[in-house]
A and B are shown apart, each in its own frame.
Chain A
């Protein structure tokens, strides 16, 4: 398909790999964080890390919305799903995220009516077809997904659908990045910036990274050639002593973002004072809730939920993985007690999660290294 095939071109990838090799300073160890899980997935799927010199290390960031949902919110979701008359809808990967007493899949086996959807619009459709049931949509995701939820809520309001509710867990990308940059145990040379979040918010909100923390950022596409080119652009900034936000993904990311989407977001949502992130703890002004104008659709106002903070399982090191402090395979339970079939931590659940991506693709490369 156009806009896809040319960015998977192996010959072009080799050329870029050669340029990257020429751009690195021998003796310097580069640590570059790819913020978003989509990049992590592509890197392992296409073996992008195998094309990089040994002294360029890619560190996986916190940009997988499934991975950052804390256990307490999963428990809240399960409590809502068990309410009489509720049809609970969510994206597929959320079904397998463990709460303190099992997953939404387990709740479904116990009799809760839980349905997987591909978009919030699907959930609204279910609500219209089942007017005598309450339909709750488990909304998760960064600024890329939030407009979809917002538009669906606007549609529900315009069409007067009284039985549609939203359990809002949308989060924003800038506060966790700032929290990461403030973290003392982190040493990074630069960031591969989120591509599709930037389609909505633009590249401008990332300018604080070079301005306040002196690290270069390149907003990147998701195909292997995109990622290689972004690594090269970061290395060029470092070698030329530049430090700025560059946009590798110009074919879809306008520097100012999508203004219509930003307007819809500010109409439907407002910032929570704080929101808990798995592994990162509470981060102020990092989560969204429904604004007062949309209060009638707010599942948290309709249902009493446990709202209890649950500590992550002791054995799980998702927190360190999300901060890029350890590699997935350095976690004590990686690939043994924690696998995609029976995940302990969220990073093993979603295909975008660093652990799942590493388990599915990267571990083979590691096995080669060990042998």
Chain B
């Protein structure tokens, strides 16, 4: 049945990204690959290997290798090691 094929493709899309870019309350962890200090941006990579430029103005002292929580192209915080 046609609708089922559509449904599967819809599900595949949802699965692929794991979050909704629109959702205001879902951010993704990304690793910093390189920093562009001049423009206050960082090149970051997500778990699936996709790279994008990220605003880092809201997080102090971002360095390569850090894991940042990124939402709509902006880093909101650094993900800290768990202590407990």
Contact = CB atoms under 8 A, between A and B. Distances in A.
B79 A140 contact: no
Interface residues of B, number: 36
Interface centre among B22, B27, B57 (most CB of A within 10 A): B22
B37 interface: no
Interface centre among A38, A196, A253, A339 (most CB of B within 10 A): A196
A36 B23 CA distance: 9
B79 A142 contact: no
Interface in A82-102: 91-94
B25 A252 contact: no
A73 interface: no
B38 interface: no
Q: Which of B67, B69, B72 is most buried by chain A, counting CB atoms within 10 A of its CB?
A: B72
Contacts of A216: none
A2 B74 CA distance: 20
Contacts of B3: 339, 341
Contacts of B81: 251
Contact of A118 (B26, B52, B59, B77): B52
A120 interface: yes
Nearest to B60: A260
Interface stretch (A25-33, A63-71, A181-189): A63-71
B58 A151 contact: yes
A148 B69 contact: no
- Interface residues of chain B: helix, strand, loop or mixed (majority): loop
Q: Using C-beta atoms within 8 Å of the partner chain, give the interface range for chain A.
A: 35 or more
Contacts of B22: 65-66, 91-94, 140-141, 350, 352
B30 to A, nearest CB: 9
A258 interface: yes
B51 interface: no
B1 interface: no
A145 B47 contact: no
A141 B23 CA distance: 7
Nearest to B79: A3
A31 to B, nearest CB: 21
B27 A144 contact: yes
22 contacts: A3-B67, A37-B25, A37-B26, A41-B20, A65-B24, A93-B21, A93-B22, A118-B21, A119-B52, A120-B73, A147-B74, A194-B25, A251-B80, A251-B81, A251-B82, A252-B69, A258-B76, A261-B76, A340-B10, A350-B23, A351-B20, A352-B22
Interface of B: 3, 6-7, 10-11, 14, 19-27, 29, 47, 52-53, 55, 57-60, 67, 69, 71-74, 76-77, 79-82
- 4 nearest A-B pairs in the assembled complex, by CB-CB distance: A119-B73, A38-B26, A142-B24, A141-B24
Interface of A: 1-4, 36-39, 41, 63-66, 91-94, 118-122, 140-145, 147-149, 151-152, 194-197, 199-200, 222, 250-254, 258, 260-261, 264, 339-341, 350-352, 360
